[in-house]
Structure 1
């Protein structure tokens, strides 16, 4: 008897330490040692790198920091953390005893008259019945499902991994906000630059039209020359509305990203500024750094961990479960001579799945399939991240080359226009030479502005691709597990 009393608690202790289901292992995938156009040097964490400050634009810096706390997408991601934290509490509560208290009071009676033999008494001479009964009862119940096979421990693992993913989702939302805001600001400044260039071209083409009229009056130009010069003036005027629309739409989108109504900040951007041009280069590190720096990769890994733990939750349903339960109740009837009654009960309940049509095993297969899908999602996220960095880096390197070459093109065509006008005044060339030179100048200047915009946008894409700035403005939270 003493042996059995010792063996039973020991067996319970051993069973309570059993956890079914696979233990999570960090995933791995083959990655190149370096990016194709950078050195094989690992970089530090870029999560707190304010890369947009490389543009040296105070207005842009102010907008970025203003939107960190106001962007609605980021706020939604932060709110999802609250729900994930509540799920952690729910998962932990499942392994704890459940205690409940109940109380009830009852008053009943009857009022009426009836006829029956001997129903008329001294107390009720008219045969009526007036009776009332009062009672009260209270009870305390408790139950505890013993976690023999680690079901609740796996559920806590699922909840904690999901909470980590929710924090990483905030980083994903923050990167999307940074990319959208800075790119929209770059576009707004581009449209302003394009407007300024077209207005400058308009002044130049009006000068050419004036010169053509003067030469016509002198008898050295034809009406066709005047019409051609006038056509370029009108063409330039036709370009302005679309550029103004582009600026206003970019400014409106910036306002939306800041969580304010459209056109709220347009007036503050009307005063033009130079196009944003990055002043510093970006260290991309190596592909393996992305697993540490990219919040979407970390979130995908946390969801893989949650899916892996869910297999253990499903497998635990295949095994027996024991629930310890008990209750204590007390009742009082105020009409009875002996009105107090106390009762209690205690005992285990064994649940053993015997036949369920294969549903429980199917749930395990579903959980394993979900985990495999999450692994494939993680691997796809990693490979897409490597591709994004490769594409942005390749484009950015060539953008610098394009901008440098385009500046030389602008200088060349500027000199060509000066020479064409002098030659036209002297009668050595036609108006077509001047118009062609003006057209080349206008197109080359706009091409330079477009190249600068593309360079800035690829700079944004590269920094977002490596996870730069994902944790700026994030509060440090320590979650107990």
Structure 2
């Protein structure tokens, strides 16, 4: 019994020394490879539209920008798209994948091998083996149980850099989700405005059909009275036919817009009709738009954040590759119990053990030590792998800078289109008023015989074109406004604190696989997608 106690004490001493050595190694360890530093990028000081009364310099109002259009139907559609859109669900699943990958990288910081193993075996030896003695029991059983452990020390920061890369990958996945959310919201608004614009254009076409039908009736009456020739009737009929012909085309475009909206909402064609209700009007344009300052784009636009996160994740992988240039130190050990009932009757061995002695102190066995490895003959493979990782990092640096430049261009383009289209609407409205008055005057003159029917046709045709162009441009103003909000990176903030996936998907995944707490709203999202 004393001997067993001594063996246990020796094992404990070895464990304490190992742990102390591990602590000292980690205290003196370092992480090789470059530390990430955000590269400098050119940033505009102010937008070119600064000074325009329709643009405000204050903080950008972007979190729920679509609510500024004061359209309850649009509000509901955006909410449903965020809940049901399949592409957004895929982006949410990528976040879960990134969380799990980060868990793998974090787990490598700890002993990489922790294996509990055991065996129970019945053995029979050949009596014809060399050096076999009749005194040896050739039939015996063995039993053992042991814990094996191996731990590659992170002396050069290989695993810490991998965790750093995993954190940035999670940031990139989160920013990718946000970027899709921004795009989805703007696309729902664009399709909805297009849809309402088409409905208004159809209403205008119907109104003009009614007007032109009355003109045709007048022409027929005058023709039957002998006041005009049949030419007036034929021209009136042709104009009416052309106006009616535009309606099927508008109907087809309207159906296509509804089908596109259904796809964004994860529905089948036709299922959005009840959500849309009766034909509506184009939403009102806000009097002004708060756009903030250009420097906010670096922090707010998800695609810029995603580009930076991918760049930073790759920077950490340079350190992972460089760590292979240096030696590896590994702590390993084994502790367990082993027993056999083999009997030896030769001198000095009074008899065999019993398998029941497996749990006794005398059955304890252990081993431990430090391993060393160094790939010194790698023929340039490691250095070239470092160069590969560095080249990939530089590619992402250039891509990041290009993303910033493209973001500034997109914002400037959208702002210019929005402001100019609003000016265009003002002029077109004046044109519609003039065209409407021209139709009234020409009809009066035609009835009184002061003008021919060609004048009436020309004024009616001009009115139709002016009204249609005005309505289309009014829709373009709101489409350009949604492009402004998209370019500014607006709309993703509304998801903060909410689940990335609907309850149904999370429930199915949780029933199929043990996800721990990774499916919950409060699971890590690496700074919630925002880094200074």
TM-score normalised per structure 2: 0.81
Out of 223, 234, 239, the residue aligned to residue 246 of structure 2 is 239
Residue 224 of structure 1 deviates from its aligned partner by 1.6
Secondary structure, aligned partner of 2:67? helix
Q: Which residue of 1 aligns with 2:297?
A: 290
Q: Which residue of 2 aligns with 1:94?
A: 108
Secondary structure, aligned partner of 1:18? coil
Q: Which residue of 2 aligns with 1:347?
A: 369
Aligned 8 A contact 2:411 2:487 in 1? yes
Secondary structure, aligned partner of 2:148? strand
Residue 319 of structure 1 deviates from its aligned partner by 0.4
Q: Which residue of 1 aligns with 2:450?
A: 428
2:485 is equivalent to residue 463 of structure 1 = yes
Deviations 1:223-266 (A, max 9, x none): 12111111111112211111111111111111221122221012
Secondary structure, aligned partner of 1:193? helix
Aligned 8 A contact 2:171 2:526 in 1? no
Counting only pairs closer than 5 Å after superposition, residues 208-223 of structure 1 correspond to structure 2 as 208-223=215-230
2:87 is equivalent to residue 73 of structure 1 = yes
For 2:103 and 2:195, the matched residues in 1 are separated by 47
For 1:334 and 1:479, the matched residues in 2 are separated by 56
2:51 is equivalent to residue 29 of structure 1 = no
Residue 108 of structure 1 deviates from its aligned partner by 6.4
Structure 1 residue runs of 5 or longer lacking an equivalent are: 111-130
Q: Which residue of 2 aligns with 1:311?
A: 318
2:307 is equivalent to residue 300 of structure 1 = yes
For 1:205 and 1:267, the matched residues in 2 are separated by 33
Q: Which residue of 2 aligns with 1:117?
A: none
For 1:193 and 1:89, the matched residues in 2 are separated by 54
Q: Which residue of 2 aligns with 1:403?
A: 425
Count the aligned residue pairs: 454
Residue 329 of structure 1 deviates from its aligned partner by 3.9
2:467 is equivalent to residue 445 of structure 1 = yes
Secondary structure, aligned partner of 1:288? helix
Q: Which residue of 1 aligns with 2:412?
A: 390
Residue 367 of structure 1 deviates from its aligned partner by 0.9
Q: Which residue of 1 aligns with 2:383?
A: 361
2:156 is equivalent to residue 152 of structure 1 = no
For 1:373 and 1:435, the matched residues in 2 are separated by 62
After the TM superposition, which of the residue ranges 13-22 and 144-153 deviates more from structure 2?
A: 13-22
Deviations 1:26-71 (A, max 9, x none): 22212221111225986536552x1112221111111112222222
Give the aligned CA root-mean-square deviation in angstroms: 2.4
Q: Which residue of 2 aligns with 1:265?
A: 272
Q: Which residue of 2 aligns with 1:123?
A: none
Secondary structure, aligned partner of 1:472? helix
For 2:22 and 2:437, the matched residues in 1 are separated by 95
Secondary structure, aligned partner of 2:379? coil
For 2:203 and 2:287, the matched residues in 1 are separated by 27
Structure 2 residue runs of 5 or longer lacking an equivalent are: 1-16, 126-137, 344-351, 499-521, 528-532
Q: Which residue of 2 aligns with 1:474?
A: 496
Sort the Cα spacing of 1:47 and 1:26 in 2 relative to 1 into closer, same or farther, 3 A. Answer: farther
Residue 13 of structure 1 deviates from its aligned partner by 3.7
Q: Which residue of 1 aligns with 2:74?
A: 60
Aligned 8 A contact 2:59 2:291 in 1? no
For 2:166 and 2:87, the matched residues in 1 are separated by 23
Counting only pairs closer than 5 Å after superposition, residues 127-138 of structure 1 correspond to structure 2 as 134-138=141-145
For 2:166 and 2:243, the matched residues in 1 are separated by 61
Deviations 1:283-321 (A, max 9, x none): 222221100110111111111111111111110111001
